[in-house]
Chain A
Amino acid sequence: MSKYTMHVLVCGGTGCISSRSKEIVENLNLHIKEVGMEDSVQILTTGCFGFCEKGPIVKILPDNTFYVQVKPEDVEEIVKEHIVKGRKVERLLYVNPTTSDSVSDSKHMEFYKKQMRVALRNCGFIDPENIEEYIARDGYGALGKVLSMTQQEVIDEMKKSGLRGRGGGGFPTGLKWEFAYKNKSDQKYVVCNADEGDPGAFMDRSILEGDPHSIVEAMAICGYAIGANRGLVYIRAEYPLAVKRLETAILAAREYGLLGHDILGTGFDFDIEIKFGAGAFVCGEETALIHSMEGMRGEPTTKPPFPAESGYWGKPTNVNNVETFANVPVVFLKGADWFSKIGTEKSKGTKVFALAGKINNVGLIEVPMGITLREVIYDIGGGIKDGKKFKAVQTGGPSGGCLTEKDLDTPIDFDNLIAKGSMMGSGGMIVMDETDCMPAVAKFYLEFTEEESCGKCTPCRVGTKRLLEILEKIIAGNGTMEDLETLKELSQVIKDTALCGLGQTAPNPILSTLEAFEDEYIAHVRDHKCPAGKCTALLQYNITDKCIGCTACARICPVNAISGSPKQQHTIDQTKCIKCGACMTKCRFGAIVRE
């Protein structure tokens, strides 16, 4: 019997730790001791709850009270009021923005209502550094089950589940395992790709931080299925907390005999080591990743041969992404039939998205495949920030594209997103509003791919640079209509000829924005205007007749571009103006306009 009668869960994800959740835990320990309840109240640091917008999160059970934006200074009140007297601290509850009601049970929050947690099942629920908590949630039960099946049975179950790779490509996981299984070799490897490089996606990190044992267990399952006894996790060095939690998990699993020799007395050996990445987006591509693990430059090579034939040190290697692995134990615990009931016809299960950008509820969400963008953005995400108008959502990171208003009711799955000129990618979802300029967004992504291009093949190395130059020209107001044609043509060439996925998908942000927002490109080129008011080179500040001549703008202007006598309408010298906007911010009469 556990002696604890109350559990306090504090989010220990990177976002919440940045907002001082460690101090919250310290203060909890302090104040709980002060009221003499340290033997009955358990304080736990968990993985990410997902509701990053409102972090740090503190959840109290069994009362199921969900406190948001908790500061270390609030802890004393939580302890003295809630924990001692059983009275909820109203001011720290989440307030539903439409009804203004405070909600204490997360189940009733719009943010959580439509979510379904499979890959994130233990994130924000268990102590990720305690293997027994994972075991209590049937952890390693799937491995136990698998070890009594034949390898082919395991693979068949995987194929039946319909699980597809969550790292971007969407390749059927069972099929991938089968290829590696069928290639006979004295040595095979299982690799977990934790080199999350898509800027704006952080689900892999959250899973490793919140539920590292699920990855350890899944890798062992995969090892058994394909006949490998060594596993490697390739992880970004920029994720120190995830690395630490994973190391702790591996050590504990060894200690409990769940990794190492003769696992559960079945004669199956398996162990895992960690390999560090060093910051290169292209290393998310599996051949590049393997070269990087071998200590070389992370440059991709042509496929075939696929890693399933010749991977790490030339041996058959199966590479899956973190989120894919996180689904694996569930497939075996609940069965392929259960799993394949979730989702759409060709995309089974759930998908984790990192919802960010101009949206009210930034966070990590997990939803069944087939949900619409509208539900994600308006129901879960709470709509666009500051009441602005929705313009587009970018999915798939630098390899993806933009979806717009007309796509809001399309069910999200692998194939629909590709049909719309975007892709699932790793699950970054960046929401943009009317003030975001689409050519500038395309430029942002091209800056990224141009910088991250490994330089091995010419279409990507030179092509992305040329694309970027054209975009820069357009944004500076010097573009021509011919440039728009060149953009399209060059994009197509790169798509057709680049060596790896990074290059082949690099033009997507341009193609999809050109398709949906061609008028915006034309406005830049022909009218020298930025409709979103973002591109400084195309903006002009002007003073209207609302000006009463208070001289405040002239005094704040850093380059003395504003002139005029007191009590007279002022004017801006456009040749001097650096378009910093200081005058517009300063003016109390709304007399300065940006066009």
Chain B
Amino acid sequence: MTKIMSLDQLKTLRDNVKNKVDLRVKGENVENMVVVRVAMATCGIASGAREVMNYLAELIRDEDIENVVITQSGCMGYCYAEPTIEVTLPGKEPVVYGNVDKAKAKEILEKHILGGEMADGIIPAIHKSLDE
């Protein structure tokens, strides 16, 4: 580590490391956040989940969208439809999309996350009923 020599350098460092705690800051306020959960088990990753997740993260950062937090889970059980992502709007039930590629991810972001309308490609919620 080279020494911080000025207040400006300190500010730059702060901006660079801010994302270390960003997830926690957002998480403390998760009930007002849109939570996007990407299934990142082996099959998900093999079908491109990581690229989708990184792409979504980039979009959100580039467009300064403050109220979205991206996280991940393991296998959600929809192996036939990987990559899958789950979107939860504040106070709403989670919605799962299957076969999400970059184009689909962009559509979900614009239509569902920002617009509040569901996009196509939703997998009917079955995991909840299986549990109960």
Direct interface between A and B, CB < 8 A? yes
Q: Given that A133-B17, A135-B13, A257-B4 are known contacts, is A2 also in contact with B40, CB under 8 Å in the complex?
A: no
Q: Given that A40-B72, A256-B1, A256-B4 are known contacts, is A7 also in contact with B27, CB under 8 Å in the complex?
A: yes
A62 close to B71 (CB less than 8 A): yes
The answer to the question of B20 belonging to the interface, with a C-beta cut-off of 8 Å to chain A, is: yes
**Which residues, 75 to 109 on A, are CB-close (under 8 Å) to B?**
83-87, 105, 107
A63 close to B27 (CB less than 8 A): yes
Which one of A139-147, A288-296, A361-369 is at the B interface? Answer: A139-147
Chain B CB within 10 Å, residue with most, of A5, A6, A35, A40: A5
Number of A interface residues at 8 Å Cβ cutoff, please give it: 43
B23: contacting residue among A62, A140, A147, A264, CB under 8 A: A62
The answer to the question of A258 belonging to the interface, with a C-beta cut-off of 8 Å to chain B, is: yes
- Complex Cα distance, B19 from A4, in Å, reads 10
- Complex Cα distance, B1 from A1, in Å, reads 19
Chain B contacts for A481, CB-based, 8 A: none
Which one of B28-36, B99-107, B117-125 is at the A interface? Answer: B28-36
The answer to the question of A125 belonging to the interface, with a C-beta cut-off of 8 Å to chain B, is: yes
B40 close to A141 (CB less than 8 A): no
A62 close to B10 (CB less than 8 A): no
- Complex Cα distance, B10 from A147, in Å, reads 13
The answer to the question of B7 belonging to the interface, with a C-beta cut-off of 8 Å to chain A, is: yes
Complex: chain B residue closest to A87, CB-CB: B131
- Complex Cα distance, B70 from A107, in Å, reads 21
Q: Given that A84-B75, A133-B17 are known contacts, is A255 also in contact with B1, CB under 8 Å in the complex?
A: yes
Complex: chain B residue closest to A84, CB-CB: B74
Chain B contacts for A125, CB-based, 8 A: 21, 24
B23 close to A1 (CB less than 8 A): no
**Which residues, 4 to 57 on A, are CB-close (under 8 Å) to B?**
4-7, 9, 35-37, 40
Chain A contacts for B20, CB-based, 8 A: 2, 132-133, 136
Complex: chain B residue closest to A148, CB-CB: B7
Chain A contacts for B111, CB-based, 8 A: none
B10: contacting residue among A64, A86, A107, A144, CB under 8 A: A144
Distance in Å: Cβ of B6 to nearest Cβ of chain A? 5
Q: Given that A40-B40, A264-B6 are known contacts, is A62 also in contact with B21, CB under 8 Å in the complex?
A: no
- Complex Cα distance, B22 from A37, in Å, reads 20
Complex: chain A residue closest to B74, CB-CB: A84
Chain B contacts for A2, CB-based, 8 A: 19-20, 22-23
Chain B contacts for A147, CB-based, 8 A: 7
Chain B contacts for A387, CB-based, 8 A: none
Q: Given that A5-B70, A140-B10, A265-B5 are known contacts, is A61 also in contact with B17, CB under 8 Å in the complex?
A: no
The answer to the question of A126 belonging to the interface, with a C-beta cut-off of 8 Å to chain B, is: yes
Chain A contacts for B9, CB-based, 8 A: 264
The answer to the question of A346 belonging to the interface, with a C-beta cut-off of 8 Å to chain B, is: no
B3: contacting residue among A63, A87, A256, CB under 8 A: A256
- Complex Cα distance, B35 from A86, in Å, reads 12
A264 close to B7 (CB less than 8 A): yes
B70 close to A137 (CB less than 8 A): no
B74: contacting residue among A4, A64, A83, A105, CB under 8 A: A83
- Per-residue CB contact flags for chain B residues 33-54 toward chain A (1 = under 8 Å, else 0) read 1010110111000000000011
Complex: chain A residue closest to B42, CB-CB: A36
Distance in Å: Cβ of A63 to nearest Cβ of chain B? 6
- Complex Cα distance, B23 from A2, in Å, reads 9
Distance in Å: Cβ of B66 to nearest Cβ of chain A? 13
Chain B CB within 10 Å, residue with most, of A37, A85, A148, A258: A85
- Give 7 A-B pairs besides A36-B42, A135-B13 with Cβ atoms closer than 8 angstroms: A37-B72, A62-B26, A62-B33, A62-B35, A62-B69, A64-B30, A264-B5
A-B contact pairs, 25 of them (CB 8 A): A1-B54, A1-B58, A2-B23, A5-B23, A5-B38, A5-B70, A5-B71, A7-B23, A63-B71, A64-B29, A64-B31, A84-B73, A86-B37, A86-B73, A125-B21, A126-B21, A135-B13, A140-B10, A144-B7, A148-B7, A255-B1, A256-B3, A257-B5, A264-B5, A265-B6
